[in-house]
Chain A
Amino acid sequence: MSDKGLPATFENPGLPPHIHRAADDDPRAAKRAERQVAALFTLSIIGTLGFIVSYFAVPNDTTVFIPFIGKTILLNILLGVTLAVSLLGIGFGAVHWAKTLMSDEEVIEERHPIASSDEDRAKAVGILNAGAEQAQLKRRPILKATGATAMGLFALPLGVQLAGSMGNPTKALEESKETIWDVPEGGKPIRLVRDVERTPIKASDVAIGSVFHILPETIKDSKHVLADKAKAAVLLMRLHPSSFANDSLGEKAKSWGYEGIVAYSKICTHVGCPVGLYEQQTHHLLCPCHQSTFDVTRDCNVIFGPAKRALPQLKITVDDEGYLVAPQGFAEPVGPSYWERKK
């Protein structure tokens, strides 16, 4: 289409003419800008002094009520606001200075290609080659081979030391299966105790529709309370026996429980959050982390959410004093899935 001798594309018109600001031409405007900047810097100084005064003068524990924010610690507000004033004064001052008094005429800097020139490259390659030649790299292949291998291997000891001493993973598999509910061969069944009070619990204490957070009585001897709790935490619920589903799952759940009282691991089979929101009407257990939902009437199988497996059930019964006990530990590992779970 480039008839009539028109160029194929438009040409860059170059920088537009510079337009002066008020303070460029009018000394009074410039003076005004100067005063504004100085005022901002002064504000900053006041902020700094305010911070120091507040730091020494205001007690730690005074609280104030501030609209929209609520009750807060006075000292925090004062220190924060004064420091903010100190910083913002400098910031606004400097920017205002730059915008009103420093040149706003744009400057042009040339660019040059990033790549080096051919000569420079040739020179660099030459130096490298000469160096390799001097080091006799090509003539002594055995040095090259052993040197490269040594370099390749030297980090290995450090890696081995680090990975090897971080923790002993050989116990990972066996410990993953154990909980402090496990009863040694010929040992006594373990009582269920309330999570916080650590008092044993009778079947008659558990009303229909109620939930208890449970730990094994053995927690009192635990040397690693959090670690043991992290696997042994249990939820105890009582359903009307007729509430259980009329299928093999419901039957199993009932038969591992005691008169409609059932105990399940509280550790989500997804990634291990405590599953603790129990909906009485629907008999659903909900995990707060990613909303996996377990149906207690059907052996805590998953009815919604990202978890795949049912919560493991803890078999329970009562001892001669009427307290709830677990005669054996969980039949499968509790908590999130892992590769060797079934082994």
Chain B
Amino acid sequence: MSTAASARAADLRAGDAKAAPLGAPKTAAGKVAVWADERTGIAKGASVMLKKVFPDHWSFMLGEVAMYSMIICLLTGVFLTFWFVPSMGEVAYQGSYLPLKGITMSEAYSSTLAISFDVRGGLLIRQIHHWAALMFVVSLSVHMFRVFFTGAFRKPREINWVIGTILSMLALIEGFAGYSLPDDLLSGTGIRAAEGFMRSIPIVGSWVSYIVFGGAFPGEAIIPRLYSVHILLLPAILVGLFAAHLILVMVHKHTQYPGPGRTENNVVGFPLMPVYTAKAGGFFFLVFGLLTLISALVTINPIWAYGPYDPSPVTAGSQPDWYMGFADGALRLLPGALEFEIFGFTLSLNVFLGAILLIPVMYTITGAYPFIERWVTGDNREHHLLDRPRNAPTRTALGVAAITAYIILFLAAGNDIMAIRLQMSINDITEALRVLFFVAPVLAFWVTKRICLSLQRHDRDTVLHGRESGTLVRTAEGKYYEVHEDLDPYTRWKLVSFESPAPIAIGSGKDANGVSSKAAKKERRRAKLSRFYFKDRVEPVTPAELAAAHHHGEHEAIEAPSAAPQAVKRAKQD
């Protein structure tokens, strides 16, 4: 502890070391602080907060990017409201974009043109808003992946997983609502399709569409309504949920990756004041700056090039923002044969499944996952140490399978572009993607699980036989071998500190008296799932195994490391 910096760190470690009495404040800032504390008592809470420790890892910044993008959306969105006119009232365009001069269009479209061409800096704000919206959805999704693959959703963080799931779904809807506001040809076509989606809802579809549009499509109501949804209703819910999300992160304290010194009972990292504040605060400016730079250089959604919405012109290559691509892809894959007549009524499952059901079903499964896994494992402990994805092979494989299915749908949204690029028939591509939607996730599952298991085996080898040191040694008999260096205890700890639960035994589905009961059957189902999860597993190296390996190594020159096969244990049940 030679430097001042580490001495400060030691202070923090000592925790509640008594501070010297302050006396009357002398600086202006001190006076304000005292004024505020006398009215709020904020110093008590602040000192706890400022000392809070946050572990450092690049993957923990993904959530931050999402948060910052959302804040940037909120900020630039407020700017846009000052010039945007959410009205479908018709005007003849008189602004400075000459190609559209005199054309009849909605006030929404003409005001968006004004933001782009007549308001100084308006285009920049508009583009930051749109790029930040895209960044928001991307970072939120990748953040979700991080949480999933590391098992951060386990007890006690299930509620935050569910909140995150809802946030993610609302972000899609918020983005769609915003994208629809300018009332250009592309977004109008999107709204037109949305009307088709609503109509596909069994029984109430045409009523829902009439209620939402306030009459026949497009009417005059939809833009103002989407506007209040976009700038008031959804942002309020997003901000509320996001606040709850953050509060829970504070309450739970952040998870951390396994490593030396990290346990289930501590958090190792940097204190909020000053390190984390500087890093996270600086990071906000980095995200904002990067988004601004992109917005300066790369045009997004050039609505002036599309023209105002009109139901009849053809919009070649019309595609929604990328995050709606998967739903669009689902619509392209669902065959028309799924439309039926029942008792004279029309059931349009080809639309309903992809456009209305897909998103809620997808998010319900996502939201339910922690509860399913917990039921299978029966694990009721708190988990604050993350899993390395390889150490939870089945979960990791399930995640990759889900992402694969998503990617197939996403690709399907570009079936026309693929057909042109690859010079193939769109028919064949669509058929192939239909098959792949079912086959690819299974394959992805299998491959991922194998990869995880072999990475785990590799870890075992590294622990047992050490690292190749690069030094060749000649034995008395004239054989050569490479010296393997033992891992230091810190590196080794990373590779051995995980659990590898065994599957629970499968019962007969009957209770103690030989009568088949509901509870016993449920237990049997659970055991089967547990087998699915844990039958293939690799156990961490134990000290005894390491000792045995050493012993072995001392007697024989190592020829080929072949300890792997015995490492995989298959549960012998059934």
Q: Which A residues are closer than 8 A to B by beta carbons?
A: 1-4, 6-10, 12-16, 18, 20, 24-25, 55, 60-61, 66, 69, 72-73, 75-77, 79-81, 83-88, 90-95, 97-99, 101-111, 113-114, 163, 166-169, 171-173, 175-176, 195, 213, 215, 224, 226-227, 229-231, 233, 266-267, 270-277, 288-292, 302, 304-309, 335-343
Contacts and interface: CB of A to CB of B under 8 A. Distances in A.
Given A105-B9, A338-B200, A339-B345, A272 B192 contact: yes
Given A14-B261, A81-B293, A273-B318, A337 B348 contact: yes
B286 A272 contact: no
Contacts of A289: 189, 193, 315, 318
Contact of A172 (B9, B120, B206, B311): B206
Given A77-B297, A110-B266, A272-B193, 17 more contacts: A10-B541, A13-B261, A60-B96, A83-B124, A83-B296, A95-B278, A105-B6, A166-B212, A224-B219, A230-B217, A272-B192, A277-B314, A289-B193, A290-B331, A309-B339, A339-B203, A342-B344
Contacts of B278: 94-95, 97-98, 102
Interface in B132-146: none
B283 to A, nearest CB: 7
Interface stretch (B33-41, B389-397, B543-551): B543-551
A3 B281 contact: no
B261 A270 contact: no
Interface of B: 2-3, 5-6, 8-9, 12-13, 51-53, 96, 117-118, 120-121, 123-124, 127, 156, 189, 192-193, 195-197, 199-207, 209-219, 221, 251-253, 260-271, 274-275, 278-279, 281-290, 292-293, 295-299, 309-318, 328, 331-339, 341, 344-348, 350-351, 355, 382, 384, 415-416, 426-427, 430, 489-490, 492-493, 496-497, 540-545, 547-548
Nearest to B271: A107
Given A15-B261, A291-B332, A114 B251 contact: yes
B312 A274 contact: yes
Contacts of B267: 108-109, 111
Q: Which of B201, B348, B548 has the most CB of A within 10 A?
A: B348
Contact of B313 (A85, A224, A274): A274
Contact of B217 (A195, A227, A340): A227
A318 to B, nearest CB: 23
Nearest to B8: A103
Q: Which of B346, B430, B490 has the most CB of A within 10 A?
A: B346
Contacts of B289: 83-88, 90-91
Given A76-B296, A94-B281, A13 B218 contact: no
Contacts of B221: 166-167
A52 to B, nearest CB: 11
Contact of B543 (A9, A61, A99): A9
Nearest to B492: A10
Contacts of B5: 24, 101-105
A13 B260 contact: yes
B286 A95 contact: yes
Contacts of A15: 260-261, 268
A225 B350 CA distance: 30
